[in-house]
Amino acid sequence: MNDLIKMLAVAGTAVALSVSLPGCGESSESESAEAHSADDGHDHADDGDDHEGHDHAEGEHGEHDHGEMRSLGSVTIAGTALAVSVSSDIKPSSEVHLDLEVESGPIPAAVRFWIGDEAGTGALKSKADAHDDHFHGQTESPATMAGASLWIEIETASGERQTAAVSLE
C-alpha cells in the first residue's frame, strides 16, 4: 500500500509540473530539468503559416512550386484590378492553384474564390493568402467542369463583399 501511495504522489507531481511549465520561449523563476526552451531542438518552423523562402520580389513562390501557370487576364472587383493566373491544366476533381496580383486600386482585406457556379453549389470555397500586393491559394475543381467559372470574392476594408466571374478558357 505504501508503494501505491508513493506512485500516486509521483504521478500527481508530474501532472502538476506539466500543467505549470511555461510555454516555448517563456521563462519561469524555477527552471526545471523537464522544461524546454526555444533552443532545445524543438522545431517551431511548422507551428504556423510560415512563408519564409518566398521570393515575392520576383513574383515566385519559392518553395511553393505549383507547376505551369496560365493567365486568365484581368478582372476589376470593388475598384481593385487583379491579374488572374491559374494552374495551366485544370481537370475535374483536381487541385487548382490561383495567383492574383493587384494591378491598381485598394488592397482587399480578404479574397475568397471557388470554381463552379455563382452560388458555389458543391464547391470548395477557399481564402487566398495575402502577401503585400498579391494573393495566392488553392482549391478543388468540381467533378463536372461544364459551365464552371472561377469566382473571386473581394472583401473590402469596410467589410463589403463583391464577386465577379472569370472564364476558365
Which domains does the chain carry? 1-48 (no CATH), 68-166 (2.60.40.1930)
**pTM of the predicted protein model:** 0.62
Q: Which residues contact 74 (CB under 8 A, 6 or more apart)?
A: 81, 82, 83, 84, 103
Q: Which residues contact 130 (CB under 8 A, 6 or more apart)?
A: 107, 108, 110, 111
Specify burial of residue 99 (Cβ count, 10 A radius: 0-12, 13-18, 19+).
buried
* Contact indicator for 154, 80 with CB cutoff of 8 Å: yes
As given in the structure block, the three cell numbers for residue 20 are 505549470
pLDDT in tens, the chain (169 residues): 556 555 555 555 444 434 343 443 433 333 333 333 333 333 333 333 433 344 433 334 444 455 689 999 999 999 999 999 999 888 999 999 999 999 999 999 999 999 999 999 989 999 999 999 999 999 999 999 999 999 999 999 999 999 999 999 8
Q: What is the pLDDT of residue 97?
A: 96
